[in-house]
Amino acid sequence: MTLSIRLDPDTDQRLEALARETGRTKTYYVREAITRFLEDEEDYRLALARLEKPAARVSLAEAKARLGLDD
């Protein structure tokens, strides 16, 4: 899929400099930035959902016992 975006001149210059310095494309860095943002946003929303509807909690000792990891 192709996506067009408009960047302000300063951001475009910074991105261009980074791409030139590293030998990667601007597209690579834009794709990476979007992927990282989506992962962070998904984690944040999951955390919020868990706070709104918390699950039962167990102690570390109980978790170890349930998993058969007792010392």
Tens digit of pLDDT for each residue in 10-62? Answer: 999 999 999 999 999 999 999 999 999 999 999 999 999 999 998 888 999 99
Token pair listed for 58 = 């167990």
| Residue 70 banded pLDDT, cuts 50, 70, 90 | confident
* Whole-angstrom distance, CA of residue 68 vs CA of residue 71: 9
- Cβ neighbours of residue 4 closer than 8 Å, sequence gap 6 or more: none
Return the closest-CA partner of residue 7 out of 22, 27, 23: 27
Token pair listed for 52 = 């709104």
* Whole-angstrom distance, CA of residue 6 vs CA of residue 10: 12
